Amino acid sequence: MLQTPVPLPQPRKFGESNRQDAWWLQPIVVFLGLSAFIVYSTWAAFQGTDYLFTGGGADYLSPFYSPEIFGDSGHAIFGPKPEIWPAWLPFSPALLILWAPGGFRFTCYYYRGAYYKAFWADPSNCSVGEPKARSCYRGENSLPLILQNIHRYFLYIALGFIVLLAWDAWKAMWFEDASGVEHFGIGVGSIVLTINVFLLSGYTFGCHVLRHMVGGKFKTISDKPAHKKAYECVTCLNKRHMLFAWLSLFWVGFTDFYVRMCATGSWTDWRIF
């Protein structure tokens, strides 16, 4: 083991920095953005209603509730809430599945860096002093944060979610008429759900783990044309991982909000054709 060089300068106090720019702005924006999403999504997840819009023959399912494993809408795979579900435990179809995308984002390399800064102030920004109380820093080297390494398993699940949400978006383009026949059509909701799939794909397919798996782990790639192509594509998205992380986060929340607003009748879904 290496020796620590002594004496080192005293660490700076919390928030102490000679930086002249508004270094506190970025962590505050991240803090507010993530907090807003967490508050809204938790609220929405506990509602357990208004997540499906069927007005005008539409079939818009909120992404917070897809796939619906148990539930009361027609989308539920296994029908209504099981009998054995304890009465004291709150139930919502969203609670059964949201841990997966939530976990994917929680363990994501981009979000990790962002919330360590914004929520833990570890550090709050580059070359800015940290809260003094934290004497022992273990990083992601031991429990609990060592569990962040599970990220790849969340990726596997997230890839599955992309397929399901794409299916939902496809379904959102078919409208049932009065006689029960489905016609292809586009409403504002169809577009909202479709954009959601694209943004989530942009985020998921730009994942650092995926980049590693499709090509990054090899020493040479010139001799593996398929991997090479895949690696290039993932790398391209990976460079914009932060952008997609925020866009998809906002949009998935907005998609739920849109469906909810339509379902409660507050908004009208416009059919384009």
Partner 1 sequence: MGQVTFKIWRGEGDEGHFEEYQTEVSEGMVVLDAIHAIQSDDASDLAVRWNCKAGKCGSCSAEINGMPKLMCMTRLSSLDLDNPIIIEPMKAFPLMKDLVTDVSWNYEAKKSIKPFKPCKPDAPDGTWRMQQEDVERAQEFRKCIECYLCQNVCHVLRDHHDHAEYIGPAFLVKTAAFEMHPLDEENRTLDLKDEQGIGYCNITKCCTKVCPEHITITDNAIIPLKERVVDEFYDPLKKLFRIFKPK
Token duo for residue 232: 């290039």
DSSP, collapsed to helix, strand or coil, labels residue 144 as coil
Q: Is 89 in the site for partner 1 (CB under 8 A)?
A: no
Whole-angstrom distance, CA of residue 116 vs CA of residue 100: 20
Token duo for residue 4: 């620590």
**Among 9-17, 46-54, 84-92, 157-165, which window interacts with partner 1 (CB under 8 A)?**
9-17
Q: Is 141 in the site for partner 1 (CB under 8 A)?
A: yes
- Which CB, 20 or 179, lies closer to partner 1? 20
Q: Give least dist CB 185 to partner 1, A.
A: 42
Q: Is 144 in the site for partner 1 (CB under 8 A)?
A: no
Q: Is 238 in the site for partner 1 (CB under 8 A)?
A: yes
- Which CB, 197 or 210, lies closer to partner 1? 210
**Among 16-24, 99-107, 157-165, 252-260, which window interacts with partner 1 (CB under 8 A)?**
16-24
Subset of 17-56 contacting partner 1 (CB under 8 A)? 17-20
Burial (0-12, 13-18, 19+ Cβ within 10 Å), 135: exposed
Q: What is the 3-state secondary structure (H, E, C) of 58-101?
A: CCEECHHHCCCCCCCCCCCCCCCCCCCCCCCCCCCHHHHHCHHH
DSSP, collapsed to helix, strand or coil, labels residue 184 as strand
Amino acid 56 reads G
- Which CB, 211 or 260, lies closer to partner 1? 211
The alpha-helical segments, DSSP class H, found in the chain are: 25-47, 93-97, 99-106, 109-118, 151-171, 188-204, 208-211, 225-238, 241-263
User: What is the DSSP-derived secondary structure letter of residue 9?
Assistant: P
Q: Which of 4, 89, 184, 266 binds partner 1 (CB under 8 A)?
A: 4
Dihedral sign from CA coordinates of 84, 90, 92, 94: negative
Instruction: Please give the distance of CA 86 from its chain centroid, rounded to a whole number.
Output: 29
Q: Is 236 in the site for partner 1 (CB under 8 A)?
A: no
**Among 126-134, 164-172, 182-190, 243-251, which window interacts with partner 1 (CB under 8 A)?**
126-134
Q: Which of 6, 22, 226, 272 binds partner 1 (CB under 8 A)?
A: 6
Encoded one letter per residue, x for contact with partner 1 by CB under 8 A and - for no contact, window 152-171 reads x-------------------
Whole-angstrom distance, CA of residue 221 vs CA of residue 264: 53
Q: Is 208 in the site for partner 1 (CB under 8 A)?
A: yes
Whole-angstrom distance, CA of residue 161 vs CA of residue 61: 13
- Which CB, 150 or 181, lies closer to partner 1? 150
- Which CB, 135 or 266, lies closer to partner 1? 135
Q: Give least dist CB 242 to partner 1, A.
A: 9
Of 122, 121, 109, 205, residue with least CA distance to 150: 109
Positions in the binding site for partner 1 (CB under 8 A) = 1-9, 11-12, 17-20, 109-110, 112-113, 116-117, 122-123, 125-127, 129-130, 134, 137-142, 145-146, 149-152, 208-209, 211-212, 216-217, 219-223, 228, 238-239, 241
